[in-house]
Amino acid sequence: ACPTTPIPMAALRASREFDVVVFGATGFTGRKVARHLAKYAPQTRVALAGRSEDKLRAITEELPGNVGVIVADVFDDEQVADMASRTKCVASLAGPYAQLGLPIVRACVDNETDYCDLTGEAHFIRASADKFHAEAKSKGTRIVHCCGYDSVPSDIGALLCVDALDGDVAKIDYHAGKAKGGVSGGTIASAFGVLELPSNKIKALADPYYIADADGRGSGDSSELWGVRRTGMGMWAGPFVMAGINERVVRRSASLLKWPKSLRYHEHQLTGRGIKGLLGAIALTFSTAIGIAALAIPPLRKCIRNRFLPKQGEGPSEELCQNGHFVSTLLGESTDGRRRVKVTVKGKLDPGYAGTAVMIGEAAIALASSMPKPDAGGVLTPASALGTALSDRLNKEGTITFTVENK
């Protein structure tokens, strides 16, 4: 038999029927991503994918333009492969990713299709990297995890700090400020999935470099910092609930982008100035510790989840999503301490859902509209896959903005 000549990637991508496929489009966040793409990127060829054709078509009827429909069940390998082969990029909104994500990643790597998701599950990212990083890198396929509120503000903000300091960076502190938003059942399902892992895997998650690439792995940094502290902004702070995933994503970026191995990166939740801020930080620290302790008890965890928290597919009201907001500040410092940079990240919508829909939507468009550089594929982060192209897109769209100030 005659050998088959490989199709160049540019020609392969140009032949695809769609630019972006939103997988899991009938879920709470998936519907918001579909609306964002249809409304703000009308030139992008979009399809919605999921198990129920009827539900998908019902969503397309609410959207402007000609939006396609692809029936794909995550447990049907042929359907998933067909979906991946028809698009330049799959934006996966179907979680928990540790249970449902790897077949989608596998299909995307097999078909040289870029991929992005909203996972906040470090053990899923570790599994994805172990299985697919080398092959995806060799093919130039970009598998980009954590493209929502966790961890775009942290990861892109850290990249902007490093760039502003010309790579000469010793530490970066992320300060989460005031925010207003809600929580969905899908996010809760993912979080509870982590709590239900075997004890040996939970212990492994404590490694601050758990998902870092081995070739550029740093050393000496600690896991997320607990307790009360005074920040460089003159405010008090306590633990930030998302530090566990965000810090590890930034450290993976550092390992892939060859930032200094001695870099220290940590996240905190601001509680204000003066005695009120101090008391707020103390209260936050104790309430966080009590919450973690309660969720560590299986019967109590089950009761809390079933009685008090939203189920998968449910989420905050549209009013809360539209009226939400967030602001975060990153402070970077050079190795000699003489140069400092401040990056401010602001969002005009609920960060976890409406804002997240914008972030992953723009990430998907950026992937679909660009070609990876040689050897730039792999299991990546927003910063290592898209760099400042993502912050540029977000700044232009206007809902999520990044500003850089040299201090």
At residue 308, does pLDDT exceed 90? Answer: no
- Name residue 184's amino acid: S
The helix/strand/coil state of 296 is: coil
- Name residue 220's amino acid: G
CA distance 407 to 384: 25
Lowest mean pLDDT among 3-12, 45-54, 154-163: 3-12
Q: What does the DSSP 8-state code read for residue 44? A: S
Give the start-end residues of each E strand in 273-398.
325-333, 340-347, 378-380
CA distance 8 to 15: 11
At residue 152, does pLDDT exceed 90? Answer: yes
pLDDT band, residue 314 (cuts 50/70/90)? low
pLDDT at position 1, please? 47
Helix 388-397 with 152-164: angle, nearest 10 deg: 110
Peptide bond into 310 cis (omega under 30): no
Sign (positive or negative) of CA dihedral 298, 302, 308, 313:
positive
pLDDT at position 2, please? 47
- Name residue 252's amino acid: R
Residues 49, 366, 73, CA angle at the centre, nearest 5°?
A: 15
CA distance 280 to 237: 8
Give phi and psi for 172, each to the nearest 5. -135, 130
- Tell me the mean pLDDT in the region 229-237: 91
- Tell me the mean pLDDT in the region 235-252: 94
The per-residue pLDDT for range 57-93, each reduced to its tens digit, is 999 999 998 999 999 999 999 999 999 999 999 999 9
At residue 248, does pLDDT exceed 50? Answer: yes
Nearest to 142 by CA among 389, 382, 359: 382
